[in-house]
Amino acid sequence: MYLYYGGKALKKLNPEKLKVNFGAMTSETEPIIPRKYTLTHSDITGELFLTIAAKYDYNKITGMRDEVLAEWSRADNEYVLMVNVMVDKEKNSVMAAIRNDIFVKELPLALEAIVYGDRELLKTNPSLYKAPIYVKFNSAYPMFSRLELWGTLSDYK
């Protein structure tokens, strides 16, 4: 099954392909801060791996740098989900453009995986569904380096 977002066909999350792991001192319902998400995947199996913990799961990050990192923070007295992706790791504008397009295409699925994987926290704190999601695209190239508002968590449930 596919969703259409921005005119592009996107895969819908298959919960059976999502593996969630909670780190030390992090449960399904607390704390909100510090709470960080490390989302990686297998190109071979199509599985998604989500670690929810007080720190990023650097052991899961590969040289490809195609993971999605996110964390809860507070801004203007409200919760905000800050997401980071690494558009380029070397100075190659063609690869940066390709990786940028891949991240833009796959981010809705990644955000859906985070929302689904941490659904117990969201059930316990339903106001978090209204939290804005900001995505920081990290790049050496100004055309790809940007901060964007990607809606709220409710857009991805």
> pLDDT (tens digit, 0 to 9) for every residue of the chain, 157 residues total?
233 333 343 578 999 999 999 999 999 999 999 999 999 999 889 899 999 999 999 999 887 788 999 999 999 999 999 999 999 977 899 999 999 999 999 999 999 999 999 999 999 999 999 999 999 999 999 999 999 999 999 999 9
Tell me how far apart the terminal alpha carbons of the chain are, to the nearest angstrom.
16
Q: What is the pLDDT of residue 52?
A: 98
Q: What are phi and psi of 113, to 5 degrees?
A: -65, -40
Q: What is the pLDDT of residue 64?
A: 78
Residue at token pair 């106001």: 127
Helix H segments across 18-133?
93-117, 119-124
Q: What is the pLDDT of residue 38?
A: 98
Q: Say if strands 48-53 and 18-22 run parallel, antiparallel, or are unpaired.
A: parallel
Helix H segments across the chain?
93-117, 119-124
Q: What is the pLDDT of residues 22-47, one digit of tens each?
A: 999 999 999 999 999 999 999 889 89
Which among 59, 58, 40 is positioned nearest to 50, based on CA atoms?
40
Q: What is the pLDDT of residue 5?
A: 36
Measured between alpha carbons, how far is 141 from 3 in angstroms, rounded to an integer?
A: 30
Q: What is the pLDDT of residue 144?
A: 95
Q: What is the pLDDT of residue 53?
A: 98
- pTM higher than 0.85: yes
| Residue 21 host element (H or E) | strand 18-22
Measured between alpha carbons, how far is 38 from 107 in angstroms, rounded to an integer?
A: 13
Counting every residue written for the chain, the total comes to 157
What is the three-class DSSP state of 30? Answer: coil
Cis status, amide bond into 31, omega within 30 of 0? yes
Sheet holding 78-86, edge to edge: 18-22, 48-53, 36-41, 68-75, 78-86, 132-138, 146-152
Q: What is the pLDDT of residue 26?
A: 97
Measured between alpha carbons, how far is 36 from 20 in angstroms, rounded to an integer?
A: 13
